[in-house]
A and B are shown apart, each in its own frame.
Chain A
Amino acid sequence: MSTNQIVEELKKHISAFEKTVEVEEIGTVIEVGDGIARMSGLTKCQAQEMLEFPGGVMGVALNLEEETVGAMILGEYKNIKQGDTVKRTGRILSVPVGEQMIGRVVNALGQEVDGKGEITTKQFYPVEKIAPGVMTREGVHEPVQTGIKAIDSMIPIGRGQRELIIGDRQTGKTAIAIDAIINQKGQNMKCIYVAVGQKESKVARIVAKLEEAGAMEYTTIVVAGASEPASMSFIAPYSGVAMAEYFADKGEDVLIIYDDLTKQAWAYREISLLLRRPPGREAYPGDVFYLHSRLLERACNLNEANGGGSITALPIIETQAGDVTAYIPTNVISITDGQIFLETDLFYKGVRPAVGIGLSVSRVGGAAQIKPMKKVSGKLKLAMAQFRELEAFAQFASDLDANTKKQIDLGYRITELMKQPQYSPMAVEDQVVVIYAVNNGVFDDVEIKEVSATEKKLVEFMNKTKLALLDKIKAGEWDEKIESELKEACKEFVTIKRSTNN
């Protein structure tokens, strides 16, 4: 474009510009502190509306009272003082959304924090939005492969499901979430990891790990750090799901992880108490249930008429000393479609991931499992249930009848088999093979401490010699022929194993 053209273009724009007298509605700050401001004026202010404080700092109106408006301040509130003028913006809080968000680390307002340059997107989505209604949804039918044997087999998760990850501190809750993200490579899934009130060092470690695993290519990280105001922790999960909705609206599948909602509830409690809303149980405000239910309802599996996208949510809740009857854990358990329970005892016994099979459930995920997995996991679940009942008798091993002893032995072997190191997700077809093998006695004559080594050998053997069979399993095919092929393969493996051992 020549200079003349540019000048012409500018002239056109300038002549098209209309002079107008701007009418602004304003208020005056009465009181400010702890991330909260109370203002007089602002007579026509809407709920959840953004307000502009001097210096460009934004706030969100939360309390609309007779004389005053109470707002939380998003960002630095040190420079706001009594008597300052506050402007209405007429806009509801929204965050930038788009493809540009992928691979980035952003704060709760969607601004970059990774130093890779400003993010410019065309679209903005409101942070608070009503969840999709009944007519736009359909049942969960496609699986989310987390790559974790214990979960994919016994507590399966489907696309559009909300599965809670719950446990004490240091039981590997985040580890499961990160493994699930890493395993989404090539599964046609976008991931959003929302870190609420986490240590910045932990977030940095996670980002580095995801980059190393090549998972940042399809992941966005939303950070509201422990040093940021409570208002950021409060809105971060909503910002995250707004970014997820962009992809879901385009018909894509999204996995979103909220790590963790306990801290979001704390942040909301802080804001509510400062706004002088009446405290209820455990000093949480009355609408703390709605806080989480409106967030988790936005996870959905849309039907074809609505684009067929989905948002799968994995909220994380941290319990104190295993107390799941506290207020927030019971709330979120009742909202979600199941939970993965992580137990401290198991963790220290060396069962990692420390999934407590007895207390963990998935209410809808079973419908989403691939057929081979469904077939083999049924037997596995039964064996584990029997094992749990009999485990108490295990110390009387010498007095037990052969059948009971066999079941206990199998239980130990399955427990051993479900162990899996961090950052090493397993493909679903390999999982099917391994579970089929343990169900059919391949591991029966293996020493317990040798189980994982044998498992590795089995997977190697299958990947070397039976690729066609694995492909069929991966595609979800399962009939008598495939089963017999699998049986033959297992037999073959046992023979090879015996011959090498001797």
Chain B
Amino acid sequence: MAKISNKQFAESLYEITIDLDGKDLELVLQKFVELLFRHHKLTQATRIIIEFESIVKKKEGVVELEITSARELDSETIAQIKKVFGKKVEALQRVDNGLIGGIKIKMEDKILDGSVRTQINSLKKCLVNN
């Protein structure tokens, strides 16, 4: 039998625990830890937790953003950006002076790059090629 991946563990845990609370949840968690022990997977527990968190976020429609800007953004701007991407948005802020201006937003495996640095680079490419 093929090995069960961390993601599969996390997914099944999510499926089982979704409607549970109180005593049942505790029991299920205990059983889950025992299962991990039997499969020698306890060392992978932190990774399974990370997977679990990302599954929860995905299922509940939470979008994770990483906003990089040249200067510190005020809360109003951030709220505006968040609004564009949907209701449940978790944003992480970063400052990178190298961008010169504009912002760069990373979501899942996409980067929306509206920074001045990139614009200048593509202008350079455009001029050199012509």
CB distance from A57 to the nearest CB of B (A): 18
Q: Are A13 and B127 in touch, CB under 8 angstroms?
A: yes
List B contacts of A20 (CB < 8 A): 122
CB distance from A17 to the nearest CB of B (A): 5
List B contacts of A17 (CB < 8 A): 122-123, 126
Q: Are B127 and A21 in touch, CB under 8 angstroms?
A: no
Cross-interface CB contact of B130 among A13, A26, A41, cutoff 8 Å: A13
CB distance from B41 to the nearest CB of A (A): 17
B110 at interface, CB cutoff 8 A: yes
Question: How many Å lie between the Cα of A22 and that of B114 in the bound state?
Answer: 7
Q: Are A24 and B111 in touch, CB under 8 angstroms?
A: yes
Question: How many Å lie between the Cα of A23 and that of B114 in the bound state?
Answer: 9
**What is the interface residue range for chain A against chain B?**
10 to 19
A27 at interface, CB cutoff 8 A: yes
Interface string of B30-51 (1 = CB under 8 A from A): 0000000000000000000000
B113 at interface, CB cutoff 8 A: yes
Interface string of B100-123 (1 = CB under 8 A from A): 000000101111111000110011
Question: How many Å lie between the Cα of A43 and that of B119 in the bound state?
Answer: 26
Q: A26-B109, A26-B111, A42-B109 are in contact. Are A19 and B127 (CB under 8 A)?
A: no
Q: Are B113 and A23 in touch, CB under 8 angstroms?
A: yes
List A contacts of B130 (CB < 8 A): 13
User: For residues 75 through 108 of chain B, which have their beta carbon under 8 Å from a beta carbon of chain A?
Assistant: 106, 108
Chain A residue nearest to B105 (CB atoms) is A21
Question: How many Å lie between the Cα of A257 and that of B111 in the bound state?
Answer: 44
Question: How many Å lie between the Cα of A14 and that of B119 in the bound state?
Answer: 12
Cross-interface CB contact of A21 among B7, B106, B109, B112, cutoff 8 Å: B112
CB distance from A68 to the nearest CB of B (A): 11
Chain B binding surface, main DSSP class: mixed
Q: Are B126 and A22 in touch, CB under 8 angstroms?
A: no
Q: A22-B118, A67-B7 are in contact. Are A14 and B110 (CB under 8 A)?
A: no
Q: Are B7 and A43 in touch, CB under 8 angstroms?
A: no
Q: Are A26 and B123 in touch, CB under 8 angstroms?
A: no
Q: Are A27 and B109 in touch, CB under 8 angstroms?
A: yes
Chain A residue nearest to B109 (CB atoms) is A41
Interface string of A342-376 (1 = CB under 8 A from B): 00000000000000000000000000000000000
Interface string of A200-229 (1 = CB under 8 A from B): 000000000000000000000000000000
The A-B contact count (CB < 8 A) is: 41
Question: How many Å lie between the Cα of A42 and that of B130 in the bound state?
Answer: 32
Cross-interface CB contact of B127 among A10, A23, A24, A25, cutoff 8 Å: A10
Interface string of A21-39 (1 = CB under 8 A from B): 1111111000000000000
Residue among A13, A21, A25 with the most chain B CB within 10 A? A21
Cross-interface CB contact of A23 among B110, B119, B122, cutoff 8 Å: B110
Residue among B7, B110, B114 with the most chain A CB within 10 A? B110
Question: How many Å lie between the Cα of A413 and that of B111 in the bound state?
Answer: 75
Q: Are B109 and A22 in touch, CB under 8 angstroms?
A: no
Q: Are B109 and A43 in touch, CB under 8 angstroms?
A: yes
Cross-interface CB contact of B126 among A13, A21, A27, cutoff 8 Å: A13
Q: A13-B126, A14-B123, A17-B126 are in contact. Are A23 and B112 (CB under 8 A)?
A: yes
Q: A10-B127, A17-B126 are in contact. Are A24 and B113 (CB under 8 A)?
A: yes
Q: Are A21 and B114 in touch, CB under 8 angstroms?
A: yes
List A contacts of B118 (CB < 8 A): 22
Question: How many Å lie between the Cα of A139 and that of B7 in the bound state?
Answer: 56
List B contacts of A67 (CB < 8 A): 5, 7
CB distance from A324 to the nearest CB of B (A): 40
Question: How many Å lie between the Cα of A67 and that of B5 in the bound state?
Answer: 11
CB distance from A400 to the nearest CB of B (A): 71
Q: Are A24 and B110 in touch, CB under 8 angstroms?
A: yes
Chain B residue nearest to A39 (CB atoms) is B109
Q: A13-B130, A67-B7 are in contact. Are A21 and B123 (CB under 8 A)?
A: no
Chain A residue nearest to B108 (CB atoms) is A41
Q: Are A25 and B113 in touch, CB under 8 angstroms?
A: no
Question: How many Å lie between the Cα of A43 and that of B110 in the bound state?
Answer: 10
CB distance from B108 to the nearest CB of A (A): 8
Pull 7 A–B residue pairs with CB atoms less than 8 Å apart, ordered by A: A17-B123, A20-B122, A23-B113, A26-B109, A26-B111, A41-B108, A67-B5
A contacts, CB < 8 Å to B: 10, 13-14, 17, 19-27, 41-43, 67
Beyond contacts A10-B127, A13-B127, A27-B109: 4 other A-B pairs, Cβ-Cβ < 8 A, are A13-B130, A21-B113, A23-B110, A23-B113
